[in-house]
Chains A and B, each alone.
Chain A
Amino acid sequence: MSAPQAIVAMTRRLPRWTRILLLLSPALLVVGVFFVAGVVQGVAQSFGYQPFLPGYQLSFDAYRQLWTDPAVRASLLLTARVAVVSTFSAASLGVTAALLIRRLGRSRGLASGLLQANLAVPHLVGALAILLLLSQGGLLARLTHAAGLTAGPASFPALTADRFGWGIIAEYVWKETPFLGVIALAALSRGIDDLEKVARTLGASRWQQLRHLTLPLLAAPVAAGSILVFAFAAGSYEVPYLLGRPYPATLPVVAFQGYRNTDLTARPEAMAVAVLITVLTATIVTAYLTLVTRLSRRTI
């Protein structure tokens, strides 16, 4: 008997629980070693713990600094704004696109292919494309200049490296609208046609079908996708670094810059920001999930 054969034969004779644990263990090991250890270490180091270094002192200093630091407060605001605006815009545009594409005839395949192609594009490329489109020397600024709307680069509104975060939002919306659109399109293809037929025989007008049947059915998958979009928008580094300004920067940029600071005393604060990001995303996700479950249990 060859080695793999022996292993498979062995697992077959194992008790159920052992078999399940064996099957799960490699994946759980990866998540445990990198994710759980990462979170635990992040929390510990935010309290001043320094692995492999003697003489550290545990304290709440980092969090106290965080609380009083106006830069962090501005950064928190910016991060929340960017994530919320991006998520809501991408969700509504994505659902709109899906509803429109569904009614297309032959060009439906082409349109959904366009959405899928956009999904595969790395965010870094998206950031560059948005930069070349929206910056004050970008294509849009040239077009407004040619149309006589703006006099020069400075009179074009700052859409990248701006205070509000328009450029960052534009990149997220551009990348995530197709993502949520594809999710909505997939949900629409699953027998919704038949349910809409039933709704018609029950007297629902087109608008009522959309309002009482199609949108509620899209809510669950689109909400699940939106959670991922929100978490990504709140936690990614390269897009806000490239399209935002150094101050205020989003939380991930602050955390990463602080961590790379040659001054090692800045590390606990960087870790505290990382913990803040983790807690923020976890809280929002949990709150959102609870809300969605509660909403889906409405009575007449």
Chain B
Amino acid sequence: MSDSRASSGVDVALSGLSRRFDDTVAVADLSLRLPAGSFTALLGPSGCGKSTTLAMIAGLITPDGGEITIDGMPMSNVAAEHRPVGMVFQRPLLFPHLNVEQNIAFGLRMRRLRKGEIRRRVASMLERVQLGGLASRRVGELSGGQEQRVALARALVLEPPVLLLDEPFSQLDASLRHEMRSLVRRLHDDLKVTTVFVTHDQSEAVEVADSIALMLAGHLVGFDTPTAFFTRPPSLTAARFFGFANEVAGVVSAGCFVSHDGCIEIPSDAADGAATLVVRPESLWLLPVRTRTSVAAVGTIVNARFAGSHLEITVQRDSGEGLTVHAAIDQAVQLGAAVVVGFRPGGCTVIPACSP
């Protein structure tokens, strides 16, 4: 590929962004700084306001309040067609009256570039998204994956400093989705474009992005690296979204979390007061009865289910909440048997009760 001119990203800042639709708050007081060249997943369940946020960055929806700046320039008076932003939507939305090549060339034609230049950039972009032979294909004759590649190429050929992706692969099947994610990742690494990827799928967010902005009910509830979300969730809701299936209520005092029934004690540097301990099923393991450890709970196996790579075991504690434990598939399990559940201290996070 001769086209070595990489568009480099610029930083995007949202401050106090909000938007209502009739009576519902879609986005509330959202502030977020995305550094130049970063790759951020905007993650949250459907209806949390993440797509609205993206549309506001693109200029397709006007915010009720707050400010968006791109590369230090306030965007409030800049129309969508003049923003330095490319966008790929959930559906490919290819122009049906144009073929693949013409679809990709659309934005360049709008800028009235010379035909030779257009042709060169379109050809180079087609190679990048691995659609080399399909230039003159009609859009109705493409597969779902090819359609999204064209949509991606159509946005990227303009070399936008910011790329917005609104759940672009949610309608593709699993293996194709994986392939497309690595394509997007590769394109980002080549072009250094500041990328915002909206998704409701936490595994997708983890796979593709460098940082995750978690949104729930219109609010930003966390902005950190994927590893951080998986090991030290910032809040209880974030923990639930990232698969921390077990919650134990208790209090923190003098650097130690103690569950209400007093059975579980975990060192913690959280402030004193009511708190919740969250722990993933894979950070728990079953121990033989009579094992004496301070970081353990006693209970009875009430359910066990084969889940492919592991066993999912439900233990009802003698006092307090039930626990879900992942165990190796060759583990001997007997329903009704009394067991001790061990806690891996590194996998436990204590969240003070005052946080959302």
Contacts and interface: CB of A to CB of B under 8 A. Distances in A.
Contacts of A200: 59-60, 79-81
Interface centre among A198, A200, A208, A299 (most CB of B within 10 A): A198
Interface stretch (A92-100, A140-148, A212-220): A212-220
Interface string B237-250: 00000000000000
Interface string B189-221: 000000000000000000000000000000000
Interface in A192-218: 194-195, 197-205, 208, 212-213, 216-217
B101 A300 contact: yes
Contacts of B20: none
Contacts of A202: 81, 86, 106-107, 110, 154-155, 158
A220 B105 CA distance: 22
Interface residues of B, number: 33
29 contacts: A191-B93, A194-B89, A197-B60, A197-B93, A198-B87, A198-B89, A198-B95, A198-B154, A199-B95, A199-B110, A200-B81, A201-B80, A201-B81, A201-B87, A202-B107, A202-B154, A202-B158, A203-B82, A203-B111, A204-B106, A212-B106, A212-B109, A212-B110, A217-B96, A217-B97, A220-B97, A299-B101, A299-B102, A300-B115
Interface of A: 191, 194-195, 197-205, 208, 212-213, 216-217, 219-220, 296, 299-300
Most buried by B among A191, A200, A205, A296: A200
A219 B95 CA distance: 14
A150 B118 CA distance: 60
A299 B105 CA distance: 11
A204 B83 CA distance: 11
Contacts of A199: 81, 95, 106, 110
A208 B155 CA distance: 17
Contacts of B87: 198, 201
B128 interface: no
A299 B85 CA distance: 27
B58 interface: yes
B185 interface: no
B91 interface: yes
A213 B106 CA distance: 10
B105 A208 contact: no
B188 interface: no
Contacts of A296: 97
B260 to A, nearest CB: 52
Contact of A201 (B60, B97, B102, B136): B60
A212 B83 CA distance: 20
A216 B89 CA distance: 22
B46 to A, nearest CB: 18
For the complex of A and B, the 10 pairs showing the least CB-CB separation, nearest first, are: A202-B107, A200-B80, A201-B87, A204-B110, A216-B97, A200-B81, A203-B110, A198-B93, A203-B81, A300-B105
B310 interface: no
Contacts of A195: 93, 95
Contacts of B344: none
B81 to A, nearest CB: 5
Nearest to A204: B110
A199 B97 CA distance: 13
Nearest to A199: B106
A296 B109 CA distance: 17
B119 interface: yes
A213 B110 CA distance: 11
B110 A300 contact: no
Contacts of A220: 97
A145 B109 CA distance: 54
Interface in B34-80: 58-60, 79-80
A154 B89 CA distance: 64
B96 to A, nearest CB: 7
Interface string B102-124: 10011101110001001100100
A202 B111 CA distance: 9
A15 to B, nearest CB: 32
A198 B106 CA distance: 10
A300 B102 contact: yes
B193 to A, nearest CB: 14
A179 to B, nearest CB: 23
- Point out which of A204, A219, A296, A300 has the most chain B C-beta atoms below 10 A from its C-beta: A300
B81 A300 contact: no
A201 B58 contact: yes
Contacts of A300: 101-102, 105, 109, 115, 118-119, 122
Given A201-B60, A300-B118, 9 more contacts: A197-B60, A197-B89, A197-B93, A200-B59, A200-B79, A202-B154, A204-B110, A205-B110, A300-B115
Contacts of B81: 199-205
A197 B51 CA distance: 14
A176 B154 CA distance: 39
Contacts of B97: 216-217, 219-220, 296
Given A201-B80, A203-B81, A194 B91 contact: yes
A194 B110 CA distance: 18
A194 B85 CA distance: 17
A202 B84 CA distance: 10
Given A200-B60, A203-B81, A300-B119, A194 B96 contact: no
Contacts of A208: 110
A295 B101 CA distance: 16
Nearest to B91: A194
Interface in B270-302: none
